[in-house]
Chain A
């Protein structure tokens, strides 16, 4: 989602402001070496995944998907906005590179299905893009950046049900930071990251932020 690092506290920016302030997705390239960094790191941030780590994690997840899935014909990969959509496209690109098979990829917006809408400023809604193959009788792999309370995934399962009945639903996340509030687990995890609830996990991706990095901020000094 737009602000997975603060979920589920009500701390996200006003969505209108956030949408206006978000960097243009058209030219996400990194700033020039002389220029200021595109996303200044907070002073207390600790890097837990570098760009190479993220690429390696996605590659490993792609191989795990290939191992677990007997036939890619029935697989549909759906990313949960905002950064899950980019991760989904990257994951599919790796699978296609390894297997030479094209896999349908799409976007599943879950905003309208969230159970915490009342307690937050109005969230920005992105259009869902379900591949033409649909989800009926498919193996759907949901992709998100951070797995935390599990509420986003619950909303995604509800959203998915309105598009059809998949044969199976699996979950791939870049970071699992624990603190689940619902009986939900990931099938593919880039990195298990034990955190305290006072900490925030920041996932930054080139498509949105100009660089690839996962950081932890806040919490007690270690």
Chain B
């Protein structure tokens, strides 16, 4: 992998993605060691620049950097000059002028990371931009599924929930297709992105608004990813009541029992944070089929692998 930025899951070829997932498996072992430290990125500086709230992504990027001996610094919008009205461009140029090596950026505007990548000398990693993409989440989801159900080639994966507002969905759709999986996406008609008909025809995935039909029949999914209902991005009436959403599109206890009976090896994912009782019931979230905590555990390893592949080799001075 010779690229400098990770802005979209589409940046990764299948070989790139598989190399990162293999590296992540090695990094995962580190978490069980007494000494959780590698000297690999010693002397590198990694800036976590978060304009949106985050617990697991920010923490896991910070741990990933620290366990590889990079100096990691967190900047959040609250408490930085951004709250005094400084523009995104001025903020990143100011920090870039301090000779940092990487920016890990979360921003509420789709495309913010692409913009920043054009302004700075450092590497840019997209940690979630608006409703656009969240490539490291897709990598850790793919890693978690591989660990549970094996190779994703030809496997059937369902992604269920608020597709319109979900960057996790967009990155997963791209990456899982790159890795050879078959995808079915499920949402209420009001939460299907506009133009998804042409999109699914072009990229070859299935769209449905009938969750029970997708979870039963001859082609029961090998993994089901429940997306969070993003109340903070919902301005209008996408569904009448939370109860109605849960009954139609949530992984209810009854639906979970039917699914796990139809496919005893099914893996249930959720990117977190969960709205228990809305898109996922406690019965499903705390079941043996749930890999939700495995996803969190994989987060650090996958982000270490990404930092390694982007930062370890200094692409600007390769000609030694």
Contact = CB atoms under 8 A, between A and B. Distances in A.
Tell whether A and B belong to one assembly.
yes
A112 B15 contact: no
A14 B2 contact: yes
A127 B25 contact: yes
Interface string B113-139: 000000000000000000000000000
A118 B308 CA distance: 11
Given A16-B19, A20-B15, A122 B40 contact: no
Contacts of B16: 16
A125 B22 contact: yes
A153 to B, nearest CB: 15
A: interface residue count bin: 20 to 34
Given A10-B318, A19-B15, A126 B312 contact: no
B39 A158 contact: yes
Contact of B40 (A19, A112, A127): A112
Determine chain B's interface SS by DSSP, over half rule: loop
A23 interface: no
Contact of A19 (B19, B33, B34, B318): B19
A122 B309 contact: yes
Interface in A89-129: 109, 112-113, 117-128
A34 to B, nearest CB: 33
A30 interface: no
Contacts of A164: 34
Contacts of B319: 10
A121 B2 contact: yes
B1 A122 contact: yes
Q: By DSSP majority rule, is chain A's interface helix, strand, loop, or mixed?
A: loop
A16 B313 CA distance: 13
Contact of A112 (B39, B309, B320): B39
Nearest to A164: B34
Nearest to B38: A112
Contact of B26 (A117, A121, A127): A127
Given A113-B40, A126-B26, A121 B318 contact: yes
Contacts of B37: 162
B1 A118 contact: no
Contacts of A163: 33, 35
A15 interface: yes
Contacts of B320: 10, 119
A78 B62 CA distance: 32
A109 B319 CA distance: 25
A15 B320 CA distance: 18
B1 A16 contact: yes
B86 interface: no
B317 interface: yes
B318 A119 contact: yes
B23 interface: yes
B314 interface: yes
B122 to A, nearest CB: 15
Nearest to B27: A125
A128 B19 contact: no
A204 B37 CA distance: 33
A203 B245 CA distance: 62
A122 B308 contact: yes
B68 interface: yes
Given A16-B1, A112-B40, A128 B26 contact: yes
B15 A125 contact: no
B1 A109 contact: no
B33 A162 contact: yes
Nearest to B24: A125
Contacts of A162: 33, 35, 37-38
B203 interface: no
Contact of A122 (B15, B34, B313, B317): B313
A164 B26 CA distance: 18
Interface string B260-300: 00000000000000000000000000000000000000000
A176 B314 CA distance: 30
Nearest to B40: A112
Among A14, A17, A121, the most chain B Cβ lie within 10 Å of the Cβ of: A121
Nearest to B16: A16
Interface of A: 10, 14-17, 19-20, 109, 112-113, 117-128, 158, 162-164
22 contacts: A16-B1, A16-B16, A17-B15, A19-B19, A109-B26, A112-B39, A112-B308, A118-B312, A119-B313, A120-B318, A121-B2, A121-B313, A122-B2, A122-B308, A122-B309, A123-B312, A123-B313, A124-B19, A125-B305, A127-B29, A162-B37, A163-B33
Of all A-B residue pairs in the complex, the 8 with the closest CB atoms, nearest first, are A118-B314, A112-B38, A119-B320, A162-B35, A112-B40, A127-B26, A122-B313, A117-B312
